[in-house]
Amino acid sequence: MSVLTGLYEKTLILKELVSTHHPGDRDQTIEQVQRILDERDLLLVQLPANPTEEELRLGAMIVEMDDVIINGLERILKGVTHDRQMIKEKKSISQRYRNPYSNIAGDGMFLDKKE
């Protein structure tokens, strides 16, 4: 098996993993994606300097799949970002519920200048 064939197979697995992602198993998906990306990095270092026509064709297919992978990873990132924002908002609401007078603005207060 050539290096580019292995890279193609890893890219195909990564594409399937990202395309069939479900929000419920996001942590497991992220771990698998990270593992596959690490394996791909090792293969990328070993790419030949003078590729054959078959290898060029496989390379073009890998580049096409990378667009789908990037879109899927961005979708996962948006989900993580959304969850972080929701947690931050819940924390803020909980804090305001526990101590409602902690952030009262000082403007609009009457001060008597006479003593």
In the predicted structure, residue 29 carries a pLDDT above the cut 60: yes
Burial (CB count within 10 angstroms: exposed 0-12, middle 13-18, buried 19+), residue 105: exposed
Nearest CA-CA partner of 19 in 87, 60, 62, 70: 70
Task: Report pLDDT digits (tens) over 47-75.
Answer: 888 888 888 898 899 999 999 999 999 99
What pLDDT shows up at residue 20?
Answer: 86
Region 27-54: mean pLDDT is 89
75 vs 80: CA distance, rounded Å? 9
What stretches of 1-115 show up as alpha helix (H) in DSSP?
A: 3-19, 26-45, 53-98
The number of angstroms, rounded, from the C-alpha of 39 to the middle of its chain's C-alpha atoms is 18
Domain ranges of the chain: 3-97
